[in-house]
Structure formats: structure tokens, C-alpha cells
């Protein structure tokens, strides 16, 4: 099985700023890290390879030259190599432009690596944008089946089985290939990088793709000029949590009290 993991570099939590002109996140001198939800996608890909050592895992990101650092993080976690999409013409792209660039990169990476991707994994959302739209838009550009907000997956002889949580409980989907899966925070802890792989990653020469390497890009979609979405304002709110404990030795009576409270609050 061959898996492409799409990752994104984001400002460390609490350090991001918005440009007063473009209303977009400024990639300044603050510490940049891999989007935590993309780490769950990377863990899912590594777990598939644990069960099948022949699995090839490749990472890709779109960003500045500084984003090479998160590709090296992915290699330390188990990816074989990483591709950086870097071009000024792509700067300022919104979700649609980013999805189109990533979709255009898929066949290019396949040709260079001599493989065909069975699945594309990515985080369900990013902590700097949180639109949750990249995965579905990328799936549409690729013409691939998709499952969003997955918890884990397992490769079997007859396909990739993906578990996700919804309002009815956990469901398991058998996905046809090619497929796209976005991952949310699961109950497991992601693995730690191996020292040997960290050292190897630092020495690796990673390929860089420009807009000229990506056929079929629509100039009306990519870059700031093609960005249809715009952040107009950001408000940081401190969550106020209130709790009330029902202390009643009679479970039935306590249950009635709880039901009345929930009904009064129009929760049920």
C-alpha cells in the first residue's frame, strides 16, 4: 500500500498573528510546528506500515522553505521522504487553491517515485484555520472516496477499513482505492521519533516542486488573487465552564432531577 500524508506548518499555539492588510496568518520568526491533527494522520500511516512493511509513506506540504522542517519531522516519524511545494505564485492561497495545488502534485510525485497512491491521509482540520475543508476539497479534485474525522484505520486483504465516530457511535467503513481520509484526535498517543531517523532526516535532500511542476493549475484559483475566502476578524474567547453536581443517594430521583435540568436548559 502507498500512502501520501499531507501536512501543514503552523505557528506554535498562541504565537500566530494576522496581517492587517491580508487578514492572513503571518509566518514570522516565532516557532513553527506541524499541525497536531496532521500528526494523527502521520501516525495512522505509520501504523499501516507497521502491519505491512512494504507500505510506502511519503509526506507533502505547501509553504515556504521553512516548511522543510516539518517534512523532516515526518521522516523521523516514519515517512520515506517528503516533497515541498514552494512558489511565490502560490502564496496566499486559500483552502481551494491549496487543495488544487496538492491534487496537481499527486500524479507528479507518483511519477517521480514510480508508484500509485492508494490513499491520502491528512488532519481533519488545522489549529490556525480550522475550516475542515481541505480534505473534502482535495478528495473532490482527485475524484476519490473520502471519510472525514477518522479515529484509526487498518489495512486488510479486501481494502482499507476506517473507523470514525459519529452521532450514532463508532462506524467502520471499507474504503475503495484511491481514497482520502482525514483524522481527528484519537485515544492513542502518537509515537515518538527515533533518534536515528531524526539524524537521517537532517541529512536528506528533499525535493521541491514549483508551480511550473504542477500541470493544470488555474491562475484564477491559486495565490492571493484567487483566494475567495478571507478572514475578516479573529476573536479570542476564554471558555467559561460551569458545573453542577447532583448529590442524591436515590439514583432514580437524581436521574429525574437531571432530566428536568436538561429539559429546562433545552438540551433535551
Would you say 61 and 9 are in contact if contact means Cβ atoms under 8 Å apart? yes
Asked which of 82-86, 102-106, 214-218, 234-238 is least confident by mean pLDDT, the reply is 234-238
Q: Would you say residue 36 has pLDDT above 80? A: yes
pLDDT band at 187 (very low <50, low <70, confident <90, very high): confident
DSSP code of 159?
E
**pLDDT for the residue 12:** 78
Which residue spans within the chain are E strands per DSSP?
2-6, 9-11, 17-18, 25-26, 32-34, 56-62, 81-85, 119-123, 145-156, 159-166, 169-175, 179-183, 208-209
Q: Would you say residue 118 has pLDDT above 90? A: yes
Please indicate whether residue 196 or residue 18 has the higher confidence score (pLDDT).
Answer: 196
CB atoms within 10 A of CB 121: 28
Would you say 49 and 57 are in contact if contact means Cβ atoms under 8 Å apart? yes
Domains of the chain by range and CATH?
2-226 (3.40.50.620)
In tens, the pLDDT along 230-259 reads: 666 656 566 566 667 888 888 889 888 988
Amino acid at each position: 500500500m502507498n500512502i501520501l500524508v499531507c501536512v501543514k506548518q503552523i505557528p506554535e499555539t498562541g504565537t500566530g498573528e494576522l496581517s492587517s492588510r491580508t487578514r492572513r496568518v503571518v509566518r514570522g520568526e516565532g516557532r513553527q510546528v506541524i499541525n497536531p491533527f496532521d500528526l494523527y494522520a502521520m501516525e495512522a500511516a505509520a501504523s499501516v506500515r507497521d502491519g505491512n512493511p512494504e507500505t510506502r509513506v511519503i509526506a507533502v506540504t505547501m509553504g515556504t522553505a521553512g516548511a522543510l522542517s516539518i517534512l523532516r519531522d515526518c521522516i523521523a516519524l516514519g515517512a520515506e521522504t517528503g516533497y515541498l511545494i514552494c512558489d511565490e505564485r502560490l502564496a496566499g492561497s486559500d483552502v481551494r487553491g491549496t487543495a488544487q495545488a496538492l491534487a496537481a502534485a499527486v500524479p507528479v510525485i507518483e511519477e517521480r517515485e514510480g508508484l500509485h497512491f492508494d490513499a491520502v491521509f491528512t488532519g481533519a482540520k488545522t489549529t490556525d484555520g480550522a475550516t475542515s475543508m481541505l480534505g473534502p476539497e482535495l478528495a473532490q479534485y482527485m475524484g476519490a472516496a473520502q471519510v472525514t474525522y477518522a479515529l484509526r484505520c487498518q489495512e486488510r486483504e479486501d481494502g482499507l477499513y476506517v473507523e470514525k465516530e459519529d452521532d450514532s457511535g463508532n462506524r467502520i467503513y471499507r474504503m475503495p482505492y484511491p481514497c482520502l481520509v482525514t483524522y481527528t484526535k484519537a485515544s492513542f498517543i502518537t509515537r515518538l521519533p527515533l533518534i536515528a531517523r531524526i539524524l537521517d532526516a537532517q541529512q536528506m535532500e528533499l525535493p521541491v516542486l514549483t508551480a511550473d511542476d504542477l500541470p493544470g493549475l488555474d491562475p484564477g484559483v491559486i495565490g492571493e488573487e484567487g483566494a475567495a475566502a478571507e478572514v475578516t476578524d479573529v476573536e479570542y474567547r476564554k471558555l467559561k465552564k460551569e458545573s453542577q453536581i447532583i448529590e442524591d443517594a436515590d439514583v432514580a430521583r437524581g436521574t429525574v432531577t437531571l432530566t428536568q435540568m436538561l429539559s429546562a436548559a433545552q438540551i433535551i
